[in-house]
Amino acid sequence: MDQSISEGIVGRYWHVLPDGRVQCDVCPRYCKLNEGQRGLCFVRARHNDRIVLTTYGRSSGFCIDPIEKKPLNHFLPGTPVLSFGTAGCNLTCKFCQNWDISKVRAFDRLQDQASPAAIAEAAVRTGCRSVAFTYNDPVIFLEYAVDVAQACRARGLKTVAVSAGYIAEEPRVEFFRHMDAANIDLKGFTEGFYKNLCTGHLTPVLETLEYLKHETEVWFEITTLLIPGENDSVEEVEAESRWVMEHLGPDVPLHFTAFHPDWKMTDKPPTPPATLRRARRIAMEAGIRYVYTGNIHDPAGQTTYCHGCGAALIGRDWYDLGTWTLSAQGRCRACGMPCAGVFDGAHGDWGRRRRPVSVQAFV
Ligand code: SF4
């Protein structure tokens, strides 16, 4: 028996099919497994006729990041967030920018044994305001993420999911009930992009975005990594921007970030800054109020502006904050217009630092 499968905990979303296979119901792949088989994400598997999560309590490492790195520009700006991931992924993006974690097939990288209580303790004692499930998609380690989120909220911490939003309807409800904020990757805006480059589908991601907007209180922002020649055309950015306006409204922030050649896509050049600025312009012309460029230095494209009077509310250069002209209640000090988001008095001063943390020290 595969040792790492036998160590798993039993998952919550699966059922037995008439032909004897067991179907995982966590994400729209609905993997149908025979005994001993793993799902596409590699971390869920069939063991003793049940679906188990094999990475419960095991992490690929912890780091304190700026919240802007998730990216979240309207959620407790300037504060540190204890960030971690596990292994595996339920999409197969050829352009993956975290492939050393998401594509891992051996769990020797998962060295940090981390209980939910130890993670919450580490976050509190290192001065973090929140804990983020990131680096790989937390949808696939849902049961672990939910337990960690509950432990963190019990200690007064906020919880953040960084996800592609590729999750089935029933687990979606449970997962996001335990999240205070999310960044959802909208990887492109055509079915062809999802099919050819991620072996997935666009519609479930759009359903997740609509669910978050209309049925939850989760603060969320959207990120689209623009890849030259794949999803960066004027038409595609216009279509995405129109959809966001029509289905989510003007207050959901949209980040256009720069691609760097990686994983199985090394034949494409990095995204030119001009492409990111053009996308930002298109989205703002469509009516979206908060649109940002990312992974480049572009203070004008990374500053938050008041949609009432145009004043700079939060100056930003990459992860460094400058200007701050918001009131404690998150209103423009010049005209009183509210800025959408979650603000809590003065901004934090964590800056661009990244600090690795050993959670073992807090057990
Ligand atoms: S979570 Fe993993 S095992 Fe379950 S359906 Fe998705 S890819 Fe398959």
Residue 28 phi, psi (nearest 5): -65, 5
Transcribe 44-86 into DSSP letters.
Answer: EEEETTEEEETTTTEES-EEEEEGGGTT-SSBSTT-EEEEE--
What does the pLDDT look like over 42-98, one tens digit per residue? Answer: 999 999 999 999 999 988 889 999 999 999 999 999 999 999 999 899 999 888 877
**Ligand 1 binding site (Cβ under 6 Å of any ligand atom):** 24, 26-27, 29-31, 39-41, 44, 90, 140
Band the pLDDT of 212: cuts 50, 70, 90: very high
- Which atom from ligand 1 is nearest to the alpha carbon of 13? 4
**Most confident region among 59-68, 109-118, 181-190, 338-347 by mean pLDDT:** 181-190
Band the pLDDT of 5: cuts 50, 70, 90: low
Rounded CA-CA distance 302/127 in Å is 26
On whether the CB atoms of residues 77 and 346 are closer than 8 A, the answer is no
H or E stretch including 24? strand 22-24
Shortest-distance Cα residue to atom 3 of ligand 1: 39
User: How many angstroms separate the alpha carbon of residue 63 from the centre of ligand 1?
Assistant: 26
Question: Once rounded to an integer, what is the mean pLDDT over residues 317-339?
Answer: 94
User: How many angstroms separate the alpha carbon of residue 159 from the centre of ligand 1?
Assistant: 23
- Substitution candidate for ligand 1 out of 44, 52, 54, 208 with most atoms within 8 A of CB: 44
Band the pLDDT of 261: cuts 50, 70, 90: confident
What does the pLDDT look like over 279-321, one tens digit per residue? Answer: 999 999 999 999 999 999 999 999 999 999 999 999 999 899 9
pLDDT higher than threshold 80 for residue 150:
yes
**Per-residue model confidence (pLDDT) at position 1:** 39
Q: Among candidates 168, 166, 174, which has minimal Cα distance to 198?
A: 166
H or E stretch including 100? helix 99-102
- Which atom from ligand 1 is nearest to the alpha carbon of 140? 1
Angle, vertex CA 194, rays to CA 190 and CA 198, nearest 5: 160
SS3 sequence, 249-305?
CCCCCEEEEECCCECCECCCCCCCHHHHHHHHHHHHHCCCCCEEEECCCCHHHHCEE
User: How many angstroms separate the alpha carbon of residue 167 from the centre of ligand 1?
Assistant: 9
pLDDT higher than threshold 80 for residue 102:
no
